[in-house]
Structures are given as structure tokens and as C-alpha cells.
């Protein structure tokens, strides 16, 4: 296919700049997604480079993926008159952001300046112990006491002043080991002020 020299140069510059080029398999598209060149010319120019083994072609989901080879890099350098120090973006190493160094001789920090693994496990262990403590305190809070003796009535309708009735929503070994008096939930909840024991 005859491709104008200006368009071929734009295609090769875009390919060399990134090291890869993607083209949709749409031969009737007026222009390529990234380059201001008809899509058919992009596909055919890269197809000719593929036949010379200057690019590798991968086709997937109606898209062509072209990747430059080492021979293709040398060919495009000669064609575009570029010095040998210039490489495609895929060959350049990206600079990683350096981790901030921490000052001081903290034994919890390892050589890299990050918290050591032992510190992590100590924090994890303390978090687990805290969760266990919270679960046990929630289990204790489920024991509901009627602390307002003046407003409580027993089953017979008489007020009980001596022993507040303690009932348990989920009776367990805790209630039995503490010797708590268990009874049913009072019938008249309007007169009962229920507080959670801590």
C-alpha cells in the first residue's frame, strides 16, 4: 500500500517513542486513536514492519498490539536519524520514589527505615488481645440487671426491695459461676429501668 512519507514518519515516531502501538481492527476508521493518520495506513505500515520482523504482532479482541524488537529499534533509529543514546519509553527504567529515612536508633525499625516484622507482630498480638477483651466485656454486658428496686414488681405484683432480679439473655457458665439469680424477663417492662452492667 502506498503511504505518504509524512504519515509513515508520524507512525514510526509514535512507535519508537513508546515502543508499542495499538491499533483497532477497523479499516474504515478515518484516523487512528493516537495519531492523526488513517487507521488503515497505521495497520499496513506496521504489517510491513512485522514481515521484516521489526515488530511483534499480537491480535486480541479486535485490536492489534505491536511491540518493537531490537532489530526494529535499530531500523527506526536509522530511518528517523536518531542518536544511539535514545531509547523507547519501554526500555527506560522508572525512578522509584525513595522511602523517607527515619532518624534515630529505634530498635523497632529495621535497616530500610520501615517498621520491623517483630514490631508488626507485637502490634497484631496486642490488637488480638484487645479484641478478645472487648468480646468478653460485651458478653458480660449482656447480663442485664434491674437496678431500680423501687419500680420493679415481681411476678405476683408485689414490689421486691431486698434482691433485685437479675436475668440473662444468654445464660452461660458465667452466670452459674457467679451464683446469679436467674429469672424470666419481667412482664411489665415500662416500670423497669434496665442498665447494662460493666
pLDDT on residue 98: 65
- List the pLDDT tens digit at each of the 198 positions of the chain: 899 999 999 999 999 999 999 999 999 999 998 999 999 999 999 999 999 999 999 999 999 999 999 999 999 999 999 998 988 988 777 777 666 555 555 555 555 555 555 555 666 667 677 767 666 655 445 444 444 444 445 555 555 545 444 444 444 444 444 444 444 444 444 334 444 444
Q: Which residues of 53-72 are buried (b: 16+ CB within 10 A; e: fewer)?
A: ebbeeeeeeeebebbbeeeb
Kindly tell me the sign of the dihedral angle through the C-alpha atoms of 109, 111, 113, 115: negative
pLDDT on residue 93: 75
Reduced to 3 states (helix: H, G, I; strand: E, B; else coil), residue 146 is strand
pLDDT on residue 157: 55
pLDDT on residue 107: 52
pLDDT on residue 23: 94
Cβ atoms within 10 Å of 16's Cβ, excluding its own: 22
Taken in order of first residue, the domains within the chain and their CATH numbers are 5-90 (1.10.10.10), 138-196 (no CATH)
Amino acid at each position: 500500500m502506498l503511504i505518504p512519507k509524512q504519515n509513515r514518519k508520524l507512525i514510526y515516531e509514535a512507535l519508537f517513542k513508546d515502543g508499542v502501538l495499538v491499533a483497532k481492527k477497523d479499516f474504515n476508521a478515518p484516523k487512528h486513536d493516537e495519531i492523526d493518520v488513517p487507521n488503515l495506513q497505521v495497520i499496513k505500515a506496521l504489517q510491513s514492519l512485522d514481515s521484516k520482523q521489526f515488530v511483534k504482532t499480537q491480535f486480541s479482541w479486535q485490536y492489534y498490539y505491536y511491540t518493537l524488537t531490537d532489530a526494529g529499534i535499530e531500523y527506526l533509529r536509522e530511518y528517523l536519524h536518531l542518536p544511539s543514546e535514545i531509547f523507547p519509553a519501554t526500555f527506560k527504567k522508572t525512578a522509584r520514589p525513595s522511602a523517607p529515612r527515619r532518624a534515630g536508633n529505634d530498635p523497632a525499625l529495621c535497616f530500610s527505615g520501615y517498621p520491623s516484622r517483630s514490631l508488626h507482630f507485637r502490634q497484631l498480638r496486642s490488637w488480638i488481645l484487645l479484641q478478645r477483651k472487648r468480646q468478653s466485656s460485651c458478653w458480660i454486658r449482656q447480663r442485664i440487671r434491674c437496678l431500680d428496686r423501687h419500680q420493679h414488681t415481681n411476678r405476683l405484683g408485689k414490689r421486691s426491695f431486698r434482691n433485685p432480679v437479675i436475668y440473662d439473655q444468654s445464660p452461660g457458665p458465667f452466670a452459674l459461676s457467679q451464683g446469679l439469680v436467674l429469672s424470666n424477663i419481667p412482664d411489665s417492662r415500662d416500670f423497669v429501668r434496665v442498665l447494662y452492667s460493666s
